[in-house]
Structures are given as structure tokens and as C-alpha cells.
Amino acid sequence: MNHSQPHYYPYFDYLRGILASIVMLGHDHVINLPYAASFAVQVFFALSGWLIGGILLHTDKNKLPKFYYNRALRIWIPYFIALALIVIASLMKDEITVLWYEVVSYKALFVYNWFSGAGLSSVIMDGTANHFWSVNAEEQFYLFAPLLLVLIKPSLRSNMYIWIILSVVFCMFTRYGSISLGVLAAIYAKQKPDFQLFFYTRIICIVAIIFSLMVLVWAKESEYIFYRLAPIASIAIVLLCAVRGNKTRFGLIVGGMSYPLYLNHWIGVFVGNFLLDPFGLRDSGIRQFFAVIVNYMIAVGHYLMIDRLIKNHRNSWYTAARANIAWIVAYGMVIVGVILGLILM
């Protein structure tokens, strides 16, 4: 059954599922290529910049509370469920220290990516939830992007030169260059609709992917080169997949399960090790296969029972008061998290 939607990109559903699977397989050492999981995260960032940037470029100021409300429901509920599961497992396994409370606080306040150094990365179950840093980065993007894409005057927010400079700065000095390139592409798409479908654009994207991946393979474990080139390959992949089409039931499940899979893929590993360790199969190929099956089952169940329910009912749950609460709480959490982090530095 297909559901036609003029602004829907069906390939993104499959791209999300593939990226979340790469992260899962990379973290469990099924895929041992350097930076495989990190590269998947960069593509996620570029995808977010393209989609959210495109949404905000067509959002009026008075619609921003609704934007924050939708993002809050979409991100917070699965995230805090995942964080609660991590905390419960950690309480049974780890020694609870002051640093443990500090790390949990940073994750709960969406600032872990800013305050994850100084030996904090391995405090919770040997770093099991370290991948939450990227969700924190996404949340910060949702808070700061409207300031640049909605609230400033149109001549500035759609100025290609400004965004090219910002993208260069982000690509050269941060790990978030892929997000800025995604936004840059969305701004250009507003000025030149469907530019990503032009023949020369697709050729450039293919060449960029091949060149970037060749250099990344050659550079192997160079973090500096990775964070300079990964954004280029990431936005190229997103643009190649940015083809409008119809929703499909299978595609919706693949795309929908990607977020809970990304958050909770540690569960299959822990369950598999617990059940198979008595047979000497801990961290074996059998355990890895078992973990993949368990993780997909959990992710699909999570999507069908929680994420899809939220998406289907969020409009009926919406009120202006709830939307205002959402954006106030969103900014408030990050502000409190930054203050806490600066105090404890």
C-alpha cells in the first residue's frame, strides 16, 4: 500500500535503517572498518541538516512552538526510555559514584557531547551509552537552528555566502560539519529547487563520495582527516538519496525502527552475553548474530508500540500551552546542563 506525498523522500527510510545498522554492527565489532560507526553518524547529521533545515526555512515565527513540540515528542520519549534502561542496567552492574551521577545528568540535560571528557566516557557500563552524545548534538541543533533560520531577517538566513563560511568553519574545527553542509544544501535547494536531481549534481556527488572514501581508507585512523572529509561524503550520500516518492509500509518500518535501534542496540549484546556466556560463546559470532536479531526485534517493537503511536497522535495532543512548555523546557535543560558542566569542570 503506497501513500503519495509530494515532499516525502522514501530512500531516506532505508538510509536511516542502514545507518543505524552500521552503528550497531560497528559497536559490536562485526564491522571493523575504522570510523564505520562514526561515518554513519556523520551521514545522520547531514540528513538532519537537510531535513530540519528545509523545514525551518519554511517555518514562520509563530509556528516555532509547534516545531519544538514535535521535536520534543519525537526525540525525548524514546531517548528518556533508552536512558532509563541504561541507568537501570548500570545500577545493577556499576559502582555508583559522584562521577556516575554527573554523567547521567549530562545525558539527561542533553549536554554530554560538551562535557564527556576527563575520564567520564567509561563511567556508565564501560561507555555503553557513549553514542548518546550524537542525540545531544541533534537536540542542540534543534534549539540553535531556528535562531539562524527563522528569527533573523530573511536576507541573512538565506545568504549562501554566510552559510558557506559557517560550513567551512564547522567542517574545519568541529565534528558537526555534516549538519552545516546539510543546512547549506537545504538553503540552496530553496533557491534552486531539486538541484540534487540535476545530472551534474549527481556526478559531483558520486565523485565526492569515491574521493572522500578513498582518502579516508588511505588515512585509516587519522581523526583529523576523517572529520574534514566525512561531511563531504555524508552530504553527497544524502543528496543522492533525496528523491521524492511514495511512502511504503516496509520503508516506514525500516526508517521508524532506526532511532530506537540506534539508542538501544546495546541490549542485544548484553542479553546475548548473559545467555551464551555459560556455553563459552560470549562475544562469539553466534552471540553477535543473536544480538542483531534481538536488537532488530526490540527496535521494530519500539517503533510499532511507541514511536508510531506518538506520530499518529501528536497533532491531537497538541495545544499552544504544551508547545510553549516544550520549548521552555528544551532550552532550560541545556542551560542548566551548561551551568552544571561549567561548575564541575
Q: Cell for 154?
A: 530573511
Give the helix ranges, DSSP H, for the chain: 10-27, 36-57, 64-93, 98-108, 132-149, 154-157, 160-173, 177-191, 199-219, 223-241, 249-256, 258-264, 266-276, 285-302, 308-317, 320-344
Tell me what the pLDDT averaged over the chain comes to.
93
pLDDT of residue 1: 39
Phi, psi of 214 (to 5 degrees): -65, -45
Give the helix ranges, DSSP H, for 58-157: 64-93, 98-108, 132-149, 154-157
pLDDT of residue 4: 44
Q: Cell for 224?
A: 583529523
pLDDT of residue 345: 82
* Range with the largest mean pLDDT of 55-59, 91-95, 151-155: 55-59
pLDDT of residue 320: 94
pLDDT of residue 212: 93
Q: What's the rounded mean pLDDT across residues 151-162?
A: 85
pLDDT of residue 309: 94
pLDDT at residue 303 tops 60: yes
* Element housing 248 (H / E): strand 246-248
Q: What's the rounded mean pLDDT across residues 100-128?
A: 90
pLDDT of residue 157: 83
Sequence-distant (6+) residues with CB within 8 A of 38 are 226, 230
| pLDDT tier, 2 (very low <50, low <70, confident <90, very high otherwise) | very low
pLDDT of residue 81: 97
Sequence-distant (6+) residues with CB within 8 A of 345 are 115
Other beta carbons within 10 Å of 214: 11
The residue ranges of every structural domain in the chain are 2-344
Report the amino acid identity of residue 86. I
pLDDT digits (tens, 9 = 90+) for 23-32: 999 999 999 8
pLDDT at residue 5 tops 80: no
pLDDT digits (tens, 9 = 90+) for 174-214: 999 999 999 999 999 999 999 999 999 999 999 999 999 99
Pairing relationship of beta strands 246-248 and 2-4 according to DSSP bridges? antiparallel
pLDDT digits (tens, 9 = 90+) for 61-86: 999 999 999 999 999 999 999 999 99
The residue among 184 and 345 whose pLDDT is bigger is 184
Q: Cell for 45?
A: 547529521
Question: Are 13 and 254 in contact, with CB atoms under 8 Å apart?
Answer: yes
Q: What's the rounded mean pLDDT across residues 220-247?
A: 94
Question: Are 83 and 107 in contact, with CB atoms under 8 Å apart?
Answer: yes
Q: Cell for 84?
A: 532509563
Q: Cell for 150?
A: 527563522
pLDDT digits (tens, 9 = 90+) for 247-290: 999 999 999 999 999 999 999 999 999 999 999 999 899 999 99
User: How many degrees, rounded to 5, is the angle at CA 132 between CA 35 and CA 78?
Assistant: 130
Question: Are 15 and 42 in contact, with CB atoms under 8 Å apart?
Answer: no
pLDDT at residue 93 tops 90: no
Q: What's the rounded mean pLDDT across residues 122-137?
A: 92
Percentage of the chain modeled with pLDDT above 90: 85
Other beta carbons within 10 Å of 58: 12
pLDDT of residue 95: 84
pLDDT of residue 85: 96
